[in-house]
Amino acid sequence: MALISKKKLSYPIKLALREYLHNYDRETVLPVSYRDLTYFSGAFPLLDRHGNDTLWETVFYEPQTLRELSEGLAQVYALLKTDGDLSFTDHLLADRIDYCRFGNSRPFRVRIVNRLNDNYDYFYVKTADASRVYGLELEHLLSPNRLSYLVSGDTLVEEHIAGIPGDDFIRTRMPQMQFNQVRIAKEFVKFNERCFARLLGDMRSYNYVIVVTPDLEAEQYRVRAIDFDQQSYEGRKTMYLPQYFKDNLAVIQMCSRFLKAEAIRQYQTEERVLMLRRVRLERYRLKALMDCMRREELAPPEKIAQLKAELNLHHQTIAFNRCRTMGDIVRQNLKLVLDLPNKLE
């Protein structure tokens, strides 16, 4: 089973990546920064509907600070969702701010309520780590999922990705088996393939969600990553294959029961073809991203050396010997997995 190493190092966003973000409308000036949210007066544990600790805390602020933050956070939501159209912000209210002390990013989660109909949505405010930004952008370009996020200085704002948390799905739904096991097994195979191709690590069950969509005669499923901190950081190859995490064992066992080897190879090929089509569609943008990433320091040298060796063994090649950075390794792995000899030059 895959084991996470000690806490991940944080890497700042450098000029080349910031220029990329500016060119593709990912960078803007935000009225509220991550630092602004850290000046809370106190906090209390946030419990779920069953009274269990969620590991989040609801924080509170002085009245004047809260009024200013609420107005600014409504504007941040408008920038994220409506490209800065502030005409909707008068009836938007940031009615709750939660904080998580665990994890690399120590995120704030903001609940925005529409006072016209009491509908609510969430978004996250985090520190802008370069690994996380590369992870978000690769997800946007190479997966079937489009992502909205913004960067401002050392602040990162991400949209909420709706779905059933993987650990909740495994704990509460799998024992009941009131879902199409073959379809969820198929989607996990595809998810596993996407993570490995672009080297997204640490996809334990609480770092992805299951999206359920009603279809003609049954439900369709999609497995979506929600945490991108471990984009090409670890040295162990197994860190990039969700199938090796103990948390996911129940899903892996289900895949073994319901999918034959031929079906697994078919679904892997299907996902590679879809990724290849996305690469062709976003060829120039992906190359611009890879050019930035290849010049970045995104992991300690010993992790880079270990991953190079393990991927050489996996692919039966020596091509990774030429890689100097994690960006080089991601590019080379994409070329080999998707058969892209010249698409990222």
User: 10-residue block means of pLDDT along the chain (345 residues)?
Assistant: 67 95 95 95 88 88 89 93 80 91 86 91 95 97 95 96 94 79 94 97 95 85 95 97 95 93 95 95 96 96 98 97 97 92 58
Phi, psi (deg, nearest 5) at residue 2: -75, 140
The whole-number pLDDT of residue 2 equals 56
Element (H, E) at 44: strand 42-47
The whole-number pLDDT of residue 136 equals 98
Contact 174, 166 (CB under 8 A): no
Bridge partners (DSSP) of residue 121 are 112
Amino acid at 13: I
> Helix (H, G, I), strand (E, B), or coil: what is residue 299?
coil
Measured CA to CA in angstroms, residue 167 lies from 194, 195, 209 at distances of 20, 18, 8
- The DSSP annotation for 151-208 comes to EETTEEEEE---SEEHHHIIIIITTTT-S-HHHHHHHHHHHHHHHHHHTB----GGGE
The whole-number pLDDT of residue 11 equals 93
For Cα atoms 250, 255, 257, give the angle at the middle one, nearest 5 degrees: 95
Cβ neighbours around 147 below 10 Å, total: 18
Residue 68's closest CA among 29, 97, 46, 88?
Answer: 97
Residue 135's closest CA among 124, 147, 118, 153?
Answer: 147
Token output for 308: 């190079």
What share of residues in the chain are helix, strand, coil (percent, to 5)?
A: 50, 20, 35
The whole-number pLDDT of residue 214 equals 87
Bridge partners (DSSP) of residue 92 are 114
**What pTM does this model have?**
0.93
Contact 236, 307 (CB under 8 A): yes
Contact 262, 184 (CB under 8 A): no
Cβ neighbours around 4 below 10 Å, total: 14
Identify how many contiguous H helices and E strands the chain contains and give both numbers: 11, 10
Phi, psi (deg, nearest 5) at residue 11: -120, 130
